[in-house]
Amino acid sequence: MNLLPLFGCTLNNRGDYIFVDANTPQEIALRETAANEFRQFYDEIKKVKNGSVNVVEYFLNVGFRKLI
């Protein structure tokens, strides 16, 4: 899954995902940004489920490409 590396997961030599601690402030910031974008995406999906169509605005403003 393409999202897992954004949160610090990587494949080991057996093909299993393992979590790797962040080593730099930049890496911590990148993971925090990914988590915030994913949270915003999830909130927009919940809005669509409740009858709102604002998710289209989210995709246009934030860009779905960042999540893939």
8-62: pLDDT as tens digits: 899 999 999 999 998 899 999 999 999 998 898 888 888 777 765 555 666 666 5
What is the distance, to the nearest Å, from the Cα of residue 2 to the centroid of all Cα atoms in its chain? 9
AA identity, residue 5:
P
pLDDT of residue 47: 78
For the chain, the domains span: 4-67
pLDDT of residue 26: 93
Residue whose tokens read 């709102």 = 52
pLDDT of residue 53: 58
**Cα distances (Å, whole numbers) of residue 47 to 3, 37, 50, 67:** 22, 15, 5, 18
pLDDT of residue 17: 92
Residue whose tokens read 């999202």 = 3
